[in-house]
Structure 1
Amino acid sequence: MDVCTLGDLLDVIGEPSVRLHTAPAGLTAPVTEALLYDAHAPLPQVPGALLLAVGVRAPAAGPLTRAAAEAGMTGVVVRGGDGPVGEAESAGVALLSVDEDAAWHQVHLLLASAIGAHPAATGGGDARGELFALADAVAAAVGGATAVEDPRQRILAYSTVPGQALDEDRRQGILGLQVPGSPENNEQYRTVFAAQGPVRLPALADALPRLAVAIRAGGETLGSLWVVDDGRLAPDAEEALAQGASTAALLLLRARAAQELARHQDGDLLRRLLDGTADPAAATHRLGLEAVRVAAFVLDSPVSAPDGEQTALRLLDLVRLQCEARYGRHACVLVDGVVYAMLPAPAERGGAREPAAAPRRRAHEQRHVRLAEDIVRRAGQALRMPVRAGLGEVVPSLAGVPASRDDADLVLRVLGPELPVASAAQVRPRLTLLRLSEVLGGRRELATGAWQEVLAYDAGHGTGYARTLLAWFEAGCDMAGAAQLLAVHPNTCRYRLRQAQQHIGIDLDDPDERLVLWLQLRTLADL
C-alpha cells in the first residue's frame, strides 16, 4: 500500500491550514494517523503518527516532542506559531502548527481525512479490494456467484468462491466488466431498481435465473447486487443479500467520498502548480507526472455571473471526464473562469536535438490538439455555446507548469471563431506579435514613431495611407499584391505611397525605417 508521507500531507493540505516549522527526518517520513493528545492517559506507541498537542501551549510543547519521538511518532502539531523548533529538531520529529483559533476536533478531522484518503487517491486499490471481499462474503452467505454493479451496469467487483454455478452472461460480463446489453436485461434492471427489496428474476435465453437487489443510500441508487440462482441458494438468501446491499452502500459512499477528496486535493495541487507555489518534487510524487503540457479551456460567450459560474463548473466536469477517459485519474481545476488540465507528454529520449525528436514532438502535439478539439466539440454541444482551447508548450518537469500555463493563456487571446483550438507552436507568430505589441505599447520610446504621424494625417485629411502602407508591407513590398489586398488599381496604391512619403516625410527606401514602421503599424495601430 502507498503510505502517506509528510510531504504528501503538506502538499494536500498545506498553508494556511497547516504550517511546517521543521522536519528533521525529511518530507518522506511516513504519516500513518492523527492522534489527539490526552494528558491523563499514557502516550500510545504509534509509529508514524502525528500527535495533536491538545491542552498544551505551543512554547511548552518541548517535552511532548521528546515523548512523541520516543513513541516513534513522525511529528507534533501545536496551536499557534511559537513552538519549540529547537527541541523538535533535537528529538528528530517534525513540528507543525495550526492557527490559534483552530478547533482541535476540526484539525483532527482534516488531517485524518487526508491521511486516510491517500491510498485510495493514489491507487484506488483499497476500495476495490473491499468490494471484491464483500462479493465473496455475499456469495458464501447466499450460495451463488455474486457481482457488484454500478447504475450503468458496469461490474465493480465479483465473487471467486469455488464451486458456484456460472453461465455465459456471467463470464462475458466479467471479461468486459460490463453486463451484456439487451432489451430483456434492461427490463430486469428497471424491475430491480423499482423494487424496495430483493427480486427473483427469471432466466434469460441460456442464462440462469438471478436474485438481485438495488444498492441505495437514502433516495439515491448507487448500484445493484446480482446473484446467479442455480436452485441451490440458501433459505435466507434474500435477507443475506439485503444485508450485503447495506454494506455495499457504505463502501460505495466511502469510495465516492475518497474519490471526491482526491479530486479536490489534486485540483488544489494543480492550482498551486499553476501559480508556482507548489513543491514540484512533491507534486511529481503525488501525481506521477513529469513532462506535461498545460491545456486551457474557456467559454467563448458572454453570460451572466451566476450562469457563467455554473456553466464553467459544467465545463470543468466535461474536461475532467474526457481527460480521465484518456489518461485515468486526472487533475483539472477552474481558475478565474478558465479550466486548466495537465496533459502528460513523453520525456525526450536521447535529447531534444536528436533528429527523431522533432517528429515525435509534432506527433504528440497533434494528439493533444485532437483531444482538445474533441473536448471543445463535445463541450460546445453539451453547453450550447462555443468553447476555445489553448495548449502551452511541453515542459520537462512540473517546475515548468507556470510557463506552460502562460503559453496556454496567451494562445487563448489569439483564438477566435475561425480557429477555436491551437497549440502555442501552431500560432507562434501571432503570440510573438501579441507580446511585441505589449512591449512596444508599454515603452514610450518604442511606441513613438512615424506610425503616429501617418494615423494623424489620415484622421486630419481623410486619407488611407496607414492601410495602404500596411498592405504594401504585408504583400512583401509588392505593389500588385498590395493593390489586390486593398482592391484598388496598382497605380492608386503607388500614388498613395508617394503622397505618404511626400506629406509625412517617411523614407521607404530605408530598410530600418520600413521594419520599424511595419512593426508599429502591425502591433499598435489596431488596423
Structure 2
Amino acid sequence: MDSPTLSDLLDVLGGSSVRAVASPGGLGVRVGEVLLYDADAPLPNAPGAVLLAVGIRPPAAGPLLHAAAAAGMAAVVVRGADGPLSAAEQAGIALLAVDEDAAWHRVHLLLSSAAGARAGGPSSATSAAGDLFALADAIAAAVGGATAIEDPRQRILAYSTVPGQAVDEDRRQGILGLQVPESPDNAEQYRALFAAGEPLRLPALDGDNLPRLAVAVRAGGETLGSLWVVDDGGLVPDAEDALAQAASTAALLLLRSRAAQELGRHLGGDLLRRVLDGTVDPATAAHRLGLGAGTDPVRVAAFVPAGASTAPDIERTALRLLDLVRLQCDARYGRHACVLVDGVVYALLPAVGERGAARHRQLAQDIVDRAGQALRVPVRAGLGALAAGLARAVDSRDDADLVLRCVDAERPVALVEDIQARVALLRLGELVSGRREFEGGTWARVLTHDAAHGTDYARTVRAWLDAGCDMAGAAERLAVHPNTCRYRLRQAREHVGLELDDPDERLVLWLQARLAGGV
C-alpha cells in the first residue's frame, strides 16, 4: 500500500499536535520512517523520512534543513513556533513544528503510529490485537499448552484457541471476564514471576486448576505483561526456552499495541477537545470517535481536583484523574472519549438506553468517591444537560463548567438540573457584570450608607427579601426581634429612599443583593 503523505499525517493528528510551518513542495509529499536526529552520527540517506530535530533550537536549524533535504528527507520537525521559514523554503523541504514542551519520544511515537495507522499498517489497534491472538496460538502450538497473554494489571489481552489442549477453571473464568480472578495465592505468584528473570513453573492454586509455566514480558527494563501456559504435564521438553523466545516477540507486539492505543487516545482526546470548543464538524468527529452519525443524545461530565496546591501537584493530580475517569468510563461504556483541558477532565457520556440521569449521576459519584481515595484529594463533578447529538455537546460542556462553580464539599456532585436556579443566577450575574445600570441604584446607596454610618440595612434588606418579605422569617435569619427588623427597614426607607412596596424595585434590589453586592 502507498505510504502516507504529509497531509495524511496532519489529518490523522488533527492539525494541532504537529503543525505545518512551511511546505515548499506541498503537503502531498510521501513520507516514510520517522527518525531522531543524532548530532554524533552522520545523517543517513533516507528518502521520505521525517527527521525530529532533537537538541536543535529552531533558529539554528537552517544547516540541518539543507542536510536533510540533500538526504532526500520529506520534512524536519522542530520544537517551538520560531522555525526558520526562509531556510526551509530555500532547501525545498517541509518544516513542521510541535509545542515547546512536547517530549521528543512522544512526538516520535505519535508520528510513527500515525504514519502506520494512515497507511493501514500493522500499527493499528485492531491489527495489533489480532497479532497478539496469532502469537498466543503460535506459543500454544510450540510449547504444548493453552496460552494467555496478559498486561501488568492481569487483564487478558489474547488467548490461544488450539483444539485439544487442556484448560482449567481459572482459564475459563479469565477468558469470560478478560481478567485473571483475584486471590491471595494468585497475587503471590505474580510477585514471584515479576521478580524473576526467566520462565517459572508455578504450582496449581487449588484442586480445580492446573500448574502453569509463565514468563514476564519486558522491554528496556519495563514490565509490559506476561505469558501464561497451562501445564497439564504434556509440555515440550524445551518449553522454558521456547517461552523465553516468545517473550521477545510479545514485547514487540505489546509495544506496538501500546503505541496504537496511545495514538487512539490522543486523537480521541484532541477530537473531543474540538467538539467541546465547537471548532470541528460534528459529523466528522462522530465518525472518528465511533459515535455513528453523532445524532444520539450525549451528556458532558466535568471533573476537577479541588485539593492540590502547587502547580506541579495540580498537573500531576489532573493527569491521574484523567486516567481514573477514562478507566471508569471505559468499564461502563467501552470505547470512550475523555480529555484534559485546563485542569478539568471532560468525559462524553452516551445517553442511549439510559434511564433518565440516574446512571450518569451515579457514575460521577463513583468516580468522585474512587478519586478521593486514590488521589487523596477531594474531587468535584458537574454534569451538563442532555445534548441532542454531538453538535450540541458544547452547550452541555458550558452547563458542566457552570455546575463545577456551584458544587462544594457538602455537594461534590450535581447535574445542572439539580441546581438549575443557582446556575441560572450565576449565568445572569455574568451577563449583567459591569453594566452601570445594574451596579448603581438603590442597592449601591444602601451599601454606601452602611459603610459611612455603621448601619446594618443591607443585611436586613437581604434577609427580608430572602424570607419572602416575611418579617418573622427575616428576624429568625438575623437572630433579632421582628421589631428590630421593622425599625431598620423603616429607617432605610427614610435615609436611603427604599421603595419596598414596589414589586419591580424589590426584584431588582434582590437581584443586585444576590449578584452584584451580596452581603
Does structure 2 retain, via aligned residues, the 8 Å contact 1:11–1:282?
A: no
Aligned CA distance change for structure 1 residues 377 and 189 (closer, same or farther; 3 Å): closer
CA shift digits 1:198-256 (9 cap, x unpaired)? 22334452433332222222322222222233333223322211111111111111111
- What TM-score, normalized to structure 1? 0.76
* Partner residue, 2:330: 324
Report how far residue 286 of structure 1 moved: 1.0
Indicate the larger mover: 510-519 or 198-207.
Answer: 198-207
Per-residue deviation, residues 174-207 of structure 1 (Å, max 9, x unmatched): 3333334444444443433333222233445243
Alignment correspondent of 1:256: 258
- Do structure 1's residue 230 and structure 2's residue 222 form an aligned pair? no
Contact persistence 1:117–1:262 (CA under 8 A): no
The one of 277, 283, 286 equivalent to 1:284 is 286
Amino acid across the alignment from 2:338: C
Do structure 1's residue 451 and structure 2's residue 436 form an aligned pair?
no
Asked if 1:491 is matched to 2:494, the reply is no
Provide the rounded CA distance (Å) in 2 between the counterparts of 1:335 and 1:411.
16
CA distance in 2, matches of 1:331, 1:447: 43
SS across alignment from 1:395:
coil
State how far apart, in whole Å, the 1-side matches of 2:107 and 2:378 are.
Answer: 43
Q: Evaluate the alpha carbon distance shift between residue 167 and residue 124 of structure 1 in structure 2; reply closer, same or farther with a 3 A threshold.
A: same
For the residues of structure 1 that align with 2:362 and 2:484, how far apart are their CA atoms?
46
CA–CA distance in structure 2, aligned partners of residues 432 and 122 of structure 1: 48
Please give the residue correspondences for 1:150-161 in structure 2 after superposition, counting only pairs within 5 Å.
150-161=151-162
Structure-2 change in CA distance of 1:314 and 1:189 (3 Å): closer
Q: 1:174 to 1:376 in 2, by over 3 A?
A: closer
Deviation at 1:101, TM superposition (A): 8.3
SS of equivalent to 1:393: coil
Identify the residue that residue 430 of structure 1 maps to in structure 2. Answer: 422
Q: Secondary structure at the match of 2:235?
A: coil
Q: How far is 1:392 from its partner?
A: 1.6
In 1, Cα distance between equivalents of 2:337 and 2:378: 23
- Find the counterpart in structure 2 of residue 114 from structure 1: 114
**Structure 2 CA distance for aligned equivalents of residues 387 and 200 of structure 1:** 44
1:383 to 1:375, Cα distance in 2 relative to 1, 3 A = same
Question: Contact 1:122 / 1:286 at 8 angstroms: preserved in 2?
Answer: no
Q: Secondary structure at the match of 1:414?
A: coil
Pair 474,197 (structure 1): closer, same or farther in 2 beyond 3 Å: same
Q: In the alignment, is residue 293 of structure 1 matched against residue 299 of structure 2?
A: yes
SS in 2 for 1:466: helix
Map 1:383-398 → 2, pairs under 5 A: 383-398=375-390
Aligned partner of residue 405 in structure 2, secondary structure: helix
* Match in the other structure for 1:526: 518
Deviation at 1:294, TM superposition (A): 1.8
Given that residues 113 and 259 in structure 2 are in contact (C-alpha distance below 8 angstroms), is that contact kept between their aligned partners in structure 1? Answer: no
Letter in 1 for 2:263: L
In structure 1, distance between residues paired with 2:484 and 2:349: 52
For residue 134 of structure 1, report the CA deviation from its aligned partner: 0.6
Structure 1 residue runs without a partner (length 5+): 22-30, 44-53, 57-78, 82-96, 348-359
- Alpha-carbon distance between aligned partners in 2 of 1:345 and 1:487, rounded to the nearest angstrom: 48
The 8 Å contact of residues 295 and 408 in structure 1, kept in 2 or not, is answered as yes
Rounded Cα–Cα distance in structure 1 between residues aligned with 2:187 and 2:336:
32
State the Cα distance separating 1:11 from its structure 2 match: 5.4
| Deviation, structure 1 residue 397 | 2.5
- Find the aligned partners of 2:145 and 2:284 in 1 and give their Cα distance: 46
Distance in 2, Cα, partners of 1:342 & 1:283: 12
Instruction: State the identity as a percent.
Output: 66
Change (3 A) 1:403 1:311: same
Q: Distance in 2 between matches of 1:440 and 1:174?
A: 59
State the partner residue of 1:304.
310
How far 1:20 moved relative to its partner?
Answer: 13
Which residue in 1 is equivalent to 2:171? 170
Amino acid at match of 2:114: A
1:136 Cα shift? Answer: 0.9
Of residues 315-324 and 177-186 in structure 1, the stretch that sits farther from structure 2 once superposed is 177-186
Please give the residue correspondences for 1:65-464 in structure 2 after superposition, counting only pairs within 5 Å. 99=95, 113-117=113-117, 124-203=125-204, 204-289=206-291, 290=294, 291-301=297-307, 303-346=309-352, 363-464=355-456
Q: In structure 2, how many angstroms separate the alpha carbons of the residues matched to 1:127 and 1:164?
A: 25
Answer with 387-396 or 150-159: which moved more: 150-159
Deviation string, structure 1 residues 376-405 (Cα, Å, up to 9, x no partner) = 222122222222111122222222233222
Name the amino acid aligned to 1:174. I
- What residue in structure 2 maps to residue 27 of structure 1? none
8 A contact 2:300–2:347 mirrored in 1: yes
Q: What SS class does the counterpart of residue 129 from structure 1 fall into?
A: helix
Deviations 1:455-486 (A, max 9, x none): 11222222211111111111111122222222
Q: Distance in 2 between matches of 1:141 and 1:518?
A: 80
Name the CA shift for 1:169/1:405 in 2 (closer, same or farther; >3 Å).
Answer: closer
Distance 1:418 1:194, change over 3 A: closer
1:137-165 deviations in Å (ceiling 9; x for gaps): 11111222222223343332221222223
2-structure distance, mates of 1:381, 1:285 = 36
CA distance in 2, matches of 1:287, 1:130: 24
What is the aligned partner in structure 2 of residue 85 from structure 1? Answer: none
- State whether residues 437 and 523 of structure 1, in contact with CA within 8 Å, keep that contact through their aligned partners in structure 2: yes
SS at match of 1:216: strand
Letter of the 2:389 partner, please give it.
Answer: S
- Cα distance in 2 for partners of 1:170, 1:109 equals 34
Q: Give the 3 Å change call, closer, same or farther, for CA 297–100 of structure 1 in structure 2.
A: closer
Q: In structure 2, list runs of 5 or more residues that go unmatched.
A: 23-27, 34-44, 49-67, 71-83, 87-92, 99-105
Cα distance, 1:279–1:267 mapped onto 2, change above 3 Å:
same
Deviations 1:94-140 (A, max 9, x none): xxx954789xxx99986552142467999943222111111111111
| Mapped contact 2:308–2:377 kept (Cα < 8 A) | no
| Count of equivalent residues | 462
Tell me the TM-score normalised to structure 2 length.
0.77
Q: Which amino acid aligns with 2:222?
A: E
Change (3 A) 1:133 1:526: same
Distance 1:219 1:297, change over 3 A: same
> 1:184 and 1:441 mapped to 2: Cα distance?
63
Deviates more, 1:465-474 or 1:322-331: 322-331
Shift of 1:345: 2.1
Letter in 2 for 1:338: V
